[in-house]
């Protein structure tokens, strides 16, 4: 019978401490009596045996390819059956690392463009000239003198622009796209230095940056 050893013409159970007839009644440490009355290895971390092998382990352990329960890596839910201690699925809030371990998601490096402070993968403060919107840093218009720190809309405008519903406009511009004017009103021209429409004298033969 499997598990017995032949000694002096008799089959004996080497892991049995005491017998009751042909059956073992007490096994050595780390062994248990099976249905045949023979001592077999007892995996104390096993919740359900199937024959000599463990089918289901206790919480925190995983059955490996040899049917033995091994302790899961910290914060691991399921490990590779073929390779001990290599996690394939981590607990909630953790992700698998390159070496098969588990790392807290919030501790992984997160880069958010133009964000000054990232906490728990969320941007809490942007660099100057940007505001937090939908966990990203949105650029504030350069035409703002001051702006709302939450929405990014202008509260005041720089000289030469007029505030309308949180946006700064050049009222002498006929075609303004965001911060740039592409066409001015009659008798106005776009100044290269400020990209704003400035009045010019139509009777002037020669214009300079300071006037006629």
Which domain range does residue 122 map to?
109-139
Is residue 144 included in any domain, yes or no?
no
Is residue 115 included in any domain, yes or no?
yes
Structurally, the chain folds into a number of domains equal to 3
Give the pLDDT confidence of 78-94 residue by residue, as tens digits.
Answer: 877 666 667 888 888 88
Is residue 73 included in any domain, yes or no?
yes
Q: Is the pLDDT of residue 8 over 50?
A: no
pLDDT band at 77 (very low <50, low <70, confident <90, very high): confident
Give the pLDDT confidence of 184-205 residue by residue, as tens digits.
Answer: 998 898 887 778 898 887 777 6
What is the Cα 192 distance to its own chain's centre?
46
Is residue 101 included in any domain, yes or no?
yes
Give dist(CA 131, CA 152) in Å, integer: 6
Give the pLDDT confidence of 106-156 residue by residue, as tens digits.
Answer: 655 667 889 888 777 788 889 989 999 988 999 999 999 999 988 999 999
Is residue 164 included in any domain, yes or no?
no
117 and 95 co-located in one domain: no
Is residue 181 included in any domain, yes or no?
no
Is residue 185 included in any domain, yes or no?
no
89 and 64 co-located in one domain: yes
Is residue 3 included in any domain, yes or no?
yes
- Residues 77, 81, 87: CA angle, nearest 5 degrees: 35
């Amino acid at each position: 019978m499997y598990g017995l050893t032949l000694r002096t013409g008799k089959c004996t159970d080497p892991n049995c401490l005491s017998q009751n007839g042909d059956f073992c009644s007490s096994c050595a440490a780390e062994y248990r009596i099976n249905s045949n009355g023979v001592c077999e290895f007892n995996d104390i971390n096993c919740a359900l045996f199937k024959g000599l092998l463990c089918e289901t382990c206790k919480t925190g352990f995983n059955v490996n390819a040899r049917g033995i329960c091994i302790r899961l890596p910290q914060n691991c839910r399921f490990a590779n059956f073929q390779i001990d201690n290599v996690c394939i699925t981590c607990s909630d809030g953790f992700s698998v690392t390159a070496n098969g371990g588990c790392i807290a998601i919030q501790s992984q490096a997160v880069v958010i463009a133009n964000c000054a402070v990232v906490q728990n993968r969320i941007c809490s403060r942007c660099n100057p000239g940007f505001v937090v919107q939908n966990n990203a840093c949105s650029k504030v218009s350069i035409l703002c003198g001051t702006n709302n720190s939450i929405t990014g809309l202008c509260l005041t405008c720089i000289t030469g622009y007029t505030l309308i519903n949180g946006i700064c406009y050049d009222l002498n511009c006929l075609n303004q796209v965001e911060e740039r004017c592409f066409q001015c009103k009659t008798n106005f021209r776009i100044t290269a230095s400020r990209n704003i429409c400035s009045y010019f004298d139509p009777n002037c033969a020669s214009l300079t940056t300071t006037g006629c």
